[in-house]
Each structure stands twice: as C-alpha cells, then as structure tokens.
Structure 1
Amino acid sequence: MSDVTRLHHALPLSPAINKAVTELDATIAKAIDAAKAAGLPQGLVVSILHGHAQVQTSIMVS
C-alpha cells in the first residue's frame, strides 16, 4: 500500500504514533494479501474491512 497518500494531522504526531500507523498499515496489507492468496473473494475482503470501519466510526461518534 505504498501508493496510498496519508493525510497528516495539523499538529506533529509523535514517533510512536507514526510507527503504530505504519505497522497497522503493513499488517492490514499483509492480511489482505493472505486472504486473497487463500481464495477469499475480493468483495468479501472489502465487506469485512467496511464492517470494521463502520463499527469504529460508531464508537467514535457515540
């Protein structure tokens, strides 16, 4: 996912947060690659990710 442009926060982020974001991105990319290699349909991968995003959004606005 190196072709993804990150939006930066208005304030500088700590190195720990930057490291966590980079690790999260890499882990998600590896999981997607593993799922595709295992034969999961791309639509299922997308729907699972979308479901997690909706849950996290709901938590943030609660």
Structure 2
Amino acid sequence: MSNVIRLRHALPMSPEINKALTDLDSAIAKAIEASKASGLPQGLIVADLHGHAHAQTHQMVTE
C-alpha cells in the first residue's frame, strides 16, 4: 500500500513499533491480494476487515 500516507503519532515511535506496523500492513495487503486472486468478492473482504476492526475496538474499550 505504497500510496497510503501514514499519520504521525504524537510521540515518537520506536523502530521496533514502526517495523511491526510495516510488517502488519504488508501481511494485510498480501492477504487481501490473495483473497482477490482466489475470487472472493471485494465486499466480503471489506466486511471481514471491518468486523475484525470492530472486534478489536470493542476489546480495547472494554478491557
């Protein structure tokens, strides 16, 4: 996702966090491309990603 501009965090992030974020982004992009290549409709991909984001947000605010 080279066309995505990353917002800067208010505090400096460590190189380890930056690497983890880059690795996560790369893994998500590869999974999306593999899903598209296997014929999964883009709407289902978006719905699945949205569901995971919602679940993680819920977990963060309830813990």
TM over 0.5: same fold?
yes
Gaps of 5+ in 1: none
* Moved segments of 4+, more than 3 Å: none
- Number of equivalenced pairs: 62
Amino acid at match of 1:26: S
TM-score, length basis structure 2: 0.95
Look up the match of 2:49. Answer: 49
Task: Output the CA distance in 2 between the equivalents of 1:18 and 1:56.
Answer: 20
DSSP-derived class of the 2:49 partner: helix
- Whether 1:32 aligns to 2:32 is yes
C-alpha deviation, 1:59, in angstroms: 0.8
Give the structure 2 partner of residue 60 of structure 1. Answer: 60
TM-score normalized with structure 1 length: 0.97
